Amino acid sequence: MDSLKVQSVETVDPGYNAAKNTANVEIKSDITKFQRLKRDKWLYLLLIPGLAYFIIFKYLPMWGIVIAFQDYSPFLGIFGSKWVGFENFIDFFKNPDFFRLLENTFILACLDLVFFFPAPIILALLLNELRLQAYKSVVQTFIYVPHFMSWVIIASITYIFFTTSGGVVNEIVSLIYGKEINFLSAPEWFRPLIMGQIIWKESGWGTVIFLAALASVDKEQYEAAIVDGAGRMRRLWHVTLPAVRSTIVVLLILRLGNFLDTGFQQIFLMSNSLNRSVADVFDTYVYFVGITQGAYSYSTAVGLFKGIVGVVLVLGANKLAKKMGQDGIF
């Protein structure tokens, strides 16, 4: 029974355990693959429903991707529609919209990494420094709330606050500067607004995972650091941050998988004819072309392109992380 436990852990993360426990390596060499299969048959059996779920609901629908290589019409079906090879992709790359979309998406994605990604970490570190437990829980609960609001509500709140006809923010701005600023329609304000919204909405919720990681930091390390004469900042830098570093890296890699996902709803709700030059991103483009114009094949091609970029980024980042001595995600 004991060996079985060790074994099952090992299948999850062989590298990690092998390095830690040399005894494992001996056990592994003792039995063949087939023997392990036979011994753990019930575990494998348990695996089947999960596998079935993924095959049926995640992998089978993926065949839909083939319409990216067709001139697809729902009434002719996948088998009746004409094959066009890479025509949809070529059309897309040649489209004058392509570089604008790429630029807008890329800038938003980078801003997201630079401003939004660190926000929950900083917030979690700040929360972690709070001494009074009751106060900390209250603050934590309050900063979760925006996460549960839909983008529609947040867009309306933004509109009410920032509109030029009687918006609170603009009232204040005009008191100070003497004139109002068109936050909602000026292209240069689009990105700050988007960043502000997402940080306001999601950074509180994002702290959950980091706080969990922080909770597992060994108390003795802090005590040792105090004995060595480390101040608050030193402790933060040399104890707390290294402890959550692997969490940060894993989340960063996962985030890169959605690098080009700018979030459809938020962008869509905040875009208008005056800021469209900076607001058009792949997600809104796929919607416009695919849903409102019914160009299913073309928009599938665009979506597929986005997905491939995501896969490449995840694999690349994972490799890089491993090279730099981090765990990575697989």
In single-letter form, the type of residue at position 150 comes to S
Is residue 276 close enough to count as binding another protein by CB under 8 A?
yes
**Could you tell me the smallest distance in angstroms from the CB atom of residue 68 to another protein?**
14
- 217 close to 240: Cβ distance less than 8 angstroms: yes
CA–CA separation, 13 vs 36, rounded Å?
Answer: 16
Is residue 8 close enough to count as binding another protein by CB under 8 A?
no
Given candidates 1, 26, 30, 45, which one binds another protein under the rule CB under 8 A?
45
Given candidates 272, 308, 311, 316, which one binds another protein under the rule CB under 8 A?
272
CA–CA separation, 161 vs 154, rounded Å?
Answer: 11
**Could you tell me the smallest distance in angstroms from the CB atom of residue 74 to another protein?**
5
Whose Cβ is closer to another protein: residue 216's or residue 273's? 273
Among candidate residues 45, 12, 14, 38, the one with its CA nearest the CA of residue 27: 14
Residues 6+ apart with CB under 8 A from 103: none
Given candidates 288, 307, 315, 328, which one binds another protein under the rule CB under 8 A?
288
Is the Cα torsion angle 145, 147, 150, 156 positive or negative in sign?
A: positive
**Could you tell me the smallest distance in angstroms from the CB atom of residue 181 to another protein?**
11
Given candidates 19, 65, 76, 130, which one binds another protein under the rule CB under 8 A?
76
- 171 close to 161: Cβ distance less than 8 angstroms: no
Beta strand spans in the chain (E): 70-71, 82-83
Is residue 293 close enough to count as binding another protein by CB under 8 A?
yes
CA–CA separation, 142 vs 131, rounded Å?
Answer: 17
Is residue 265 close enough to count as binding another protein by CB under 8 A?
no
Given candidates 117, 159, 161, 200, which one binds another protein under the rule CB under 8 A?
159
**Could you tell me the smallest distance in angstroms from the CB atom of residue 201 to another protein?**
20
Whose Cβ is closer to another protein: residue 161's or residue 222's? 161
Q: CA-CA distances (angstroms) from residue 326 to 244, 259, 319, 320, 322?
A: 12, 20, 10, 9, 5
Binding marks (x or -) toward another protein, 160..179, rule CB under 8 A? ---xxx--------------
Residues that bind another protein (CB under 8 A): 41, 45, 48-49, 52, 56, 73-77, 96-97, 159, 163-165, 180, 182, 184-185, 187, 272-274, 276-277, 288-289, 291-296
